[in-house]
Amino acid sequence: MAIVSPVQTAPGERRRLALASPATLERIGEIEVSSAEDVAAAVEVARKVQPDWGGLPVDERTRYMLRALEILLERQDEFIDVVLRETGKPRSEALMMEIFSACDSLNYYAKNAARILASEKKRLHGMMRLLKQLGVVYRPLGVVGVISPWNAPFILAMNPTVQALVAGNAVLLKPSEVTPFSGQLVAELFAAAGLPEGVLQVLLGDGETGAALCQAGVDKIAFTGSVDTGRKVAVACAQQLIPCTLELGGKDAMIVCADANLDHAASGAVAGAFMNTGQYCCGTERVYVAESVAQEFTRKVVERVSKLRQGVEGEFDIGAIFWPRQLEIIEEHMADARERGVVVLTGGRRNPDLAGLFYEPTVLTDVTHDMRIMREETFGPVLPIMGVKDEDEAVAMANDSVYGLGATVWTSDVGKGRRLAQRIQSGSVCLNDMTVTYALQEAPFGGLKHSGIGQVNGVTGLRGYCHAEPIIVDRFGGRRTADHYPYSIKADATRQKLMKILWGTALGRWLS
Ligand code: NAD
């Protein structure tokens, strides 16, 4: 059964989509798809209310974040239930990835936004300092469209929304059609926190609604999703001449050096590859391990994987694949790998004991770089392990990819780890840890190569929802403009002498 399927509607009726749980395949509800007209109407409302919202001092806007935080803490079980119903993830993952992270985001921006968005006085260089004063103010962009994916459906809708709101924008959020109810929770939360009406609106729907939002005259799109859709969003934003951030897919490499603590590395590989059933943008999708320790490392990984419990209810570690298309991709990659001679150490099939969309945690060896499983984003519970002769080969393999989102390096020599990190073409690198970058608001998060454009979170992210406006004041009250004309050869000669002193002498360069 499809997890998202069109509902038969009479001509002239709104399009509707029916949703089912990927874990139980039971129907969980349906949504109405917002049309281009709905999107246009929402933009109109947002435009009306944004000036008042953006005109509030930052501290007043952050009060709503603190109120939302209180409510989220109180009602977390209710929110977790919604996420579980439409994703089939383990409860601990809904709690940690979605709710814990959202609480941290709300508190971080409530606490730090006033400092990050405060007007700044900039010290000018050289003679300019004597002539002018420069200040920079951070003004909201206006109306921001947030388009989010299904894999972490609450936090990936919530975190950009919090930042865009705190920065003073009105937000139109378009959550994934695979997990619309978790996206809707964001609006419910802020409505309960008393956010002025219209400042945040959720537009449910599929790609058509997302495409309409990109064309609707908003001032920025914050997109998280696949490379293919990211390209379409980039084209639409280019046509509209609006900025966008694109947080796209990845094929994160893990490098295990010969001197790594193999117990820690094996546990890190298992957590990195199987958290969220592998449907994690920064999940570990391929391992390059030094040949001298490859056998021992692989044995430790398989030992840990064999203890993972897959299930639907109660306590379990591995959940469902969130929708059939992803399961198909996983199976296509596995079929290709099998054809090319992969060895399946564990898993490698749908779970025959569970009725929903479940794929067993899978560990592979004897992989080669021509396999799709090593080149394309699998986004499932599959961990391919490849032996390499040394760290140089590991870096070369890690960089042999169109993706560049995250990577991890495991070594007992942190200095060497840092040096390796700087050679890996990746948005971020974590040493002796799975990729945790998105959870650290201070870390600019974004991908290289096909993994995206721009960075989000923290100072970079919050200011990215603003226009940094320089305001320049002449120290002489404009009097000097009277000397602008007439131009003269004599005045030019004086200027040229001055230039020689300024940039033709060591003292001049130091002063300027
Ligand atoms: P997707 O690209 O299919 O959909 C993402 C969103 O875009 C959905 O809301 C969808 O309805 C909307 N959309 C579809 N067509 C559109 C169009 N033409 N214009 C505008 N919006 C449109 O991605 P997905 O399958 O939901 O998410 C999984 C992907 O997201 C994976 O590749 C994963 O790696 C990536 N991801 C990246 C990050 C990151 O931060 N880099 C985080 C999570 C997920």
pLDDT over 70 at 236, yes or no: yes
Domain end among 229, 247, 265: 247
pLDDT in tens, 58-104: 999 999 999 999 999 999 999 999 999 999 999 999 999 999 999 99
Alpha carbon of residue 450 to chain centroid: 14
Tell me if 319 is assigned to some domain: yes
Domain end among 391, 424, 443: 443
| DSSP-derived 3-state class of residue 465 | coil
Tell me if 24 is assigned to some domain: no
Q: Where residue 246 falls among pLDDT bands split at 50, 70, 90?
A: very high
User: What average pLDDT does the structure give for the chain?
Assistant: 97
Please name the residue whose Cα sits nearest to atom 40 of ligand 1. Answer: 247
Q: Are residues 224 and 262 in the same domain?
A: no
Q: Are residues 236 and 256 in the same domain?
A: no
pLDDT over 60 at 1, yes or no: no
Give the residue, out of 244, 281, 328, 437, with the most ligand 1 atoms within 8 A of its beta carbon, to mutate for a pocket test. Answer: 281
Cα dihedral 367, 369, 370, 371 in deg (nearest 10): 40
CATH of the domain at 429: 3.40.309.10
Domain end among 213, 247, 281: 247
| DSSP-derived 3-state class of residue 247 | strand
pLDDT over 70 at 161, yes or no: yes
pLDDT over 80 at 465, yes or no: yes
Give the whole-angstrom CA distance, residue 504 versus residue 165: 49
| 232 pocket-lining for ligand 1 (C-beta < 6 Å) | yes
Give the residue, out of 226, 376, 449, with the most ligand 1 atoms within 8 A of its beta carbon, to mutate for a pocket test. Answer: 226
Tell me if 458 is assigned to some domain: no
pLDDT over 90 at 122, yes or no: yes
CA of 151 to the centre of ligand 1 (A): 9
Q: Are residues 331 and 269 in the same domain?
A: yes
Residues with catalytic annotation? Answer: 247, 281
Average pLDDT value for residue range 430-437? 97
| 174 pocket-lining for ligand 1 (C-beta < 6 Å) | yes
- Total H helices, total E strands in the chain: 19, 21
CB distance 189 to 68 below 8 Å = yes
Tell me if 90 is assigned to some domain: yes
Strands 362-365 and 343-346 turn out to be antiparallel
Q: Are residues 79 and 216 in the same domain?
A: yes
417 CB-near residues (< 8 Å, 6+ apart): 257, 409, 410, 411, 431, 432
CATH of the domain at 83: 3.40.605.10
- pTM assigned to the model: 0.97
Length of the chain: 512
Give the whole-angstrom CA distance, residue 405 versus residue 42: 33
Note the pLDDT of residue 2.
Answer: 80
Tally the domains of the chain. Answer: 2
Q: Are residues 272 and 234 in the same domain?
A: no
Note the pLDDT of residue 268.
Answer: 98
| Percent of residues, the chain, with pLDDT higher than 90 | 99
Domain limits at 74?
Answer: 34-247
pLDDT in tens, 470-481: 999 999 999 989
Amino acid 298 reads: T
Which strands form 466-474's sheet, in the order they lie side by side? Answer: 120-122, 132-140, 466-474
Q: Are residues 321 and 238 in the same domain?
A: no
Q: Give the phi and the psi of residue 447 in degrees, each rounded to 5.
A: -105, 160
| 149 pocket-lining for ligand 1 (C-beta < 6 Å) | yes
Q: Are residues 223 and 269 in the same domain?
A: no
What is the helix (H) or strand (E) element at residue 85, kind and residue range? helix 76-87
| 226 pocket-lining for ligand 1 (C-beta < 6 Å) | yes
